[in-house]
């Protein structure tokens, strides 16, 4: 049995770790709530944008020649990988990366092109590290954007993607991100960015109103498309942040619970060891007095 002093040292270190994980857990909890608020407050814009785009896509039908909607034979694809910058969040990053790898296989089958070239655009350090470590091709990287990304940063990502698409460097662009379902569940989700597939109109009351267009429907439509791509990146980015803190919250709660269990076990062992030592001492004293 280890000495009581050794056990005492271990108890102290386990309790220290527990305190740290507890602190990280509390911070994650409040940051998750703030990240969720950001997701909600950005929703009205994207919902309105999608409604408009759906209404207009029927008006602008026959204008499939817009650069961002052009469907070409797929030679090269790009995958935007949304991951957190930091760890201590359980298997979150690993799950996103695994989903991206599965997506590559799906794309090979869907496009019927086994030689499809895949390049990555890493948003977040965890994804970047994986792409570099596994020797894959990195088209661009965006890290340290923070919890509250500036729209300018998101626009830079969107520009990189649309420029590469228009220059025909890539023919397909997907995005994979951890969708925030609840604190306990974050689902890695793929999403097609380019070519843009305009959302279809949900059942709405009444027909599409007869708009007056200024300047004209096609111009407005082509102005809406890049914004649509931006929201398709912005919303998932915000959800990635929320998912990260949720996953961290759960991981740290488990760690704290484990630390507490371990500390309880060690305390028991410590008490037993102490008692054994006392008993031995008493026996020795009694034996000495008797002799």
Per the structure block, which two tokens stand in for 255? 């760690």
Question: CA-CA distance, 200 to 138, in Å (whole number)?
Answer: 33
Contact indicator for 80, 121 with CB cutoff of 8 Å: yes
Total residues contacting another protein by CB under 8 A comes to 28
Question: CA-CA distance, 14 to 12, in Å (whole number)?
Answer: 6
Contact indicator for 80, 175 with CB cutoff of 8 Å: yes
Specify the residue, 34 or 86, whose C-beta has the smaller distance to another protein.
Answer: 34
Per CB under 8 A, 234 contacts another protein:
yes
Contacts (CB under 8 A) with another protein, residues 37-66: 38, 41-42, 44-46, 48-49, 52, 56
Q: Whole-number minimum distance, CB 193 to another protein, in Å?
A: 16
Question: CA-CA distance, 196 to 125, in Å (whole number)?
Answer: 27
Q: Whole-number minimum distance, CB 51 to another protein, in Å?
A: 9
Q: Whole-number minimum distance, CB 234 to another protein, in Å?
A: 6
Q: Whole-number minimum distance, CB 263 to another protein, in Å?
A: 44
Question: Residue 126's closest CA among 164, 160, 92?
Answer: 92
Per CB under 8 A, 209 contacts another protein:
yes
Per CB under 8 A, 94 contacts another protein:
no
Question: Residue 123's closest CA among 175, 159, 168?
Answer: 175
Per CB under 8 A, 182 contacts another protein:
no
Site of tokens 């201590």 = 88
Task: Name the site residues for another protein (rule: CB under 8 A).
Answer: 38, 41-42, 44-46, 48-49, 52, 56, 151, 154, 209-215, 217, 219-220, 223-224, 227, 230-231, 234
């Amino acid at each position: 049995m280890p000495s009581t002093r050794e056990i005492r040292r271990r108890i102290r270190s386990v309790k220290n770790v527990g305190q740290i994980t507890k602190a990280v857990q509390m911070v994650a909890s409040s940051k998750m709530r703030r990240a969720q608020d950001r997701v909600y407050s950005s929703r009205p814009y994207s919902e309105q944008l999608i409604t408009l785009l759906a209404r207009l896509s029927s008006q602008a039908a026959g204008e499939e020649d817009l650069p961002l909607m052009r469907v070409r034979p797929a030679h090269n694809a790009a995958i935007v990988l949304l991951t957190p910058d930091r760890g201590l969040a359980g298997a979150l990053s690993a799950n996103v990366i695994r989903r991206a790898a599965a997506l590559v296989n799906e794309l090979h089958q869907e496009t019927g092109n086994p030689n499809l070239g895949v390049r990555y655009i890493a948003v977040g350090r965890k994804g970047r590290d994986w792409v570099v470590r596994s020797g894959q091709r990195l088209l661009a990287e965006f890290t340290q954007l923070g919890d509250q990304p500036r729209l300018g940063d998101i626009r830079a990502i969107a520009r990189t993607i649309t420029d590469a698409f228009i220059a025909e460097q890539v023919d397909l662009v997907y995005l994979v991100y951890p969708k925030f379902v609840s604190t306990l569940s974050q689902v890695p989700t793929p999403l097609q960015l380019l070519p843009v597939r305009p959302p279809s109109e949900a059942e709405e009351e009444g027909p599409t109103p007869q708009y007056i267009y200024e300047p004209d429907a096609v111009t407005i439509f082509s102005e809406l498309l890049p914004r649509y791509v931006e929201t398709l990146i912005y919303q998932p980015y915000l959800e990635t942040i929320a998912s990260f803190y949720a996953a961290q919250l759960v991981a740290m709660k488990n760690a704290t619970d484990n630390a507490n269990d371990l500390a309880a076990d060690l305390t028991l062992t410590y008490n037993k060891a102490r008692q054994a030592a006392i008993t031995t001492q008493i026996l020795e004293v009694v034996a000495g007095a008797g002799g």
